[in-house]
């Protein structure tokens, strides 16, 4: 249930509606919007009678939220959410490019890639310090040393950094170094991690699980918002299908559905979707064309020597080319 307040409802009227809802043993969550405040009613078991709410001063209307996700829905908040990371904004009207290696491998590797992606036009730097890998024998990341290197890349290039948190235990550490905390596809339904992310003061990049429906993905985001963190960027990174011509199948229609259903920004990861370098630039163009709010792309200075995901990492010149293509496309598409 959503209580929509009048455009000129006073703060006192908003507070007294919140108190009235809480007096019924329910949870009230004010959601400030561009035009007006709405108050979400959460944790109700079964429908709430809207009649008494409609009579309260300052209330414009009471809407039944029909979807299982509430706070992430457009019904609750019609205006698009913009996520701010330093000077960078992610969301409607912006196209944000996040780039860097799959994993931070050394100081020299990360700094070299940081400099080149900054020069080409990236807005944020990515790099894994903790790498959740399919095989326990594969490179697992440098851990805290990797986080320190990420901080160095930020200091030197001015680019905010995005890095994955693999579990609840490491969250405090990752949060201390990262500007954006990534929750990976494998962890999209790690509910204790989502709850911890809900308490974070950092924006969260929430990847779609490999076999998650859009509803499941939005419910995962709901955990974070319900926990109190409104700064979430969704990331489509391909889903598992029977196709084997790419690592995963990039579901570009997810952009349209998410933008209809939710106010949260959505970006595309063409690298983990494709799994091969040759598909990354064309799929990025498609992502721009469909209206995604940005890209997260793997780039390596020497992909042949990369400790993970070298085969899908762009060469530096390819990344420069991609940034230029994105600019040209955006100019053509912007009315």
Chain residues in the site for ligand PEP (CB under 6 A): 102, 128, 184-186, 207, 237, 269, 272
Q: Which is nearer to Mn ion, 164 or 222 (CB)?
A: 164
- Under the criterion CB under 5 A, does residue 164 sit at the interface with Mn ion? no
- Interacting partner of 237 out of ligand PEP, Mn ion, none (Cβ under 5 to 8 A depending on kind): ligand PEP
As given in the structure block, the two tokens for residue 229 are 């963190």
- 72, with CB counted inside 10 A (0-12, 13-18, 19+), is buried
**Closest approach of ligand PEP to the CB of residue 214, in Å:** 16
Cα(163)–Cα(292) distance, integer angstroms: 21
Smallest gap, in angstroms, from Cβ of residue 148 to ligand PEP?
19
Q: How far is the CB of 182 from ligand PEP (least distance, A)?
A: 6
d(CA 186, CA 130) in angstroms, rounded, equals 13
Which residue is closest to ligand PEP by CB?
A: 184
129 and 150 in contact (C-beta within 8 Å)?
yes
* Closest distance to ligand PEP from the beta carbon of 335 (Å): 32
Per CB under 5 A, 309 contacts Mn ion:
yes
- Smallest gap from Cβ 298 to ligand PEP, in A, equals 7
Tell me the C-alpha distance between 73 and 218, whole Å.
Answer: 8
Distance CA 173, CA 196 (A): 13
Query: What is the distance between the alpha carbons of residues 129 and 150, in angstroms, rounded to a whole number?
Result: 8
Name which of 1 and 99 has its Cβ closer to ligand PEP. Answer: 99
Separation between Cα atoms, residue 91 and residue 74, nearest integer Å: 14
Residue 316 interacting entry, from ligand PEP, Mn ion, none, C-beta within 5 to 8 Å by type = none
Considering only residues 9, 14, 102, 283, which one is a binding residue for Mn ion as defined by CB under 5 A? Answer: 102
């Amino acid at each position: 249930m959503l209580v929509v307040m009048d455009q000129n409802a006073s703060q006192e009227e908003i507070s007294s509606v919140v108190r009235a809802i809480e007096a019924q043993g329910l949870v009230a969550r004010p959601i400030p919007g561009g035009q007006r405040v709405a108050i979400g009613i959460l944790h109700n078991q079964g429908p709430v009678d809207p009649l008494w709410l409609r009579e309260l001063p300052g209330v414009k209307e009471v809407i039944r939220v029909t979807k299982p996700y509430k706070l992430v829905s457009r019904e609750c908040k019609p205006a698009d959410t913009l996520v701010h990371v330093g000077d960078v904004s992610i969301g409607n009207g912006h196209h944000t490019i996040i780039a860097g290696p799959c994993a931070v491998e050394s100081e020299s590797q990360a700094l070299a890639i940081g400099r080149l992606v900054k020069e080409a036009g990236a807005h944020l730097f990515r790099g894994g310090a903790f790498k959740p890998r399919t095989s326990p024998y594969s490179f697992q990341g440098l851990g805290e040393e990797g986080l320190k290197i990420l901080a160095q890349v930020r200091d030197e290039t001015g680019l905010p950094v995005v890095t994955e948190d693999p579990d609840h235990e490491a969250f405090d550490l990752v949060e201390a170094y990262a500007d954006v905390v990534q929750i990976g596809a494998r962890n999209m339904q790690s509910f204790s991690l989502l709850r911890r992310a809900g308490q974070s003061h950092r924006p969260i990049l929430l990847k779609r699980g490999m076999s998650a429906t859009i509803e499941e993905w939005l419910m995962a985001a709901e955990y974070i918002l319900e926990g109190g963190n409104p700064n979430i960027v969704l990331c489509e990174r391909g889903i598992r299908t029977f196709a084997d011509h790419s690592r995963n199948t990039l579901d570009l229609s997810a952009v349209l559905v998410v933008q209809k259903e939710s106010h949260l920004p959505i970006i595309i990861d063409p690298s983990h979707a494709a799994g091969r370098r040759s598909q990354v630039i064309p799929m990025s163009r498609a992502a721009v064309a469909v209206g995604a709010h940005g890209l997260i792309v793997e780039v390596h200075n020497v992909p042949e020597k990369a400790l993970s995901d070298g085969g899908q990492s762009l060469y530096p010149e390819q990344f420069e080319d991609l940034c230029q293509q994105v600019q040209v496309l955006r100019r053509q598409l912007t009315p």
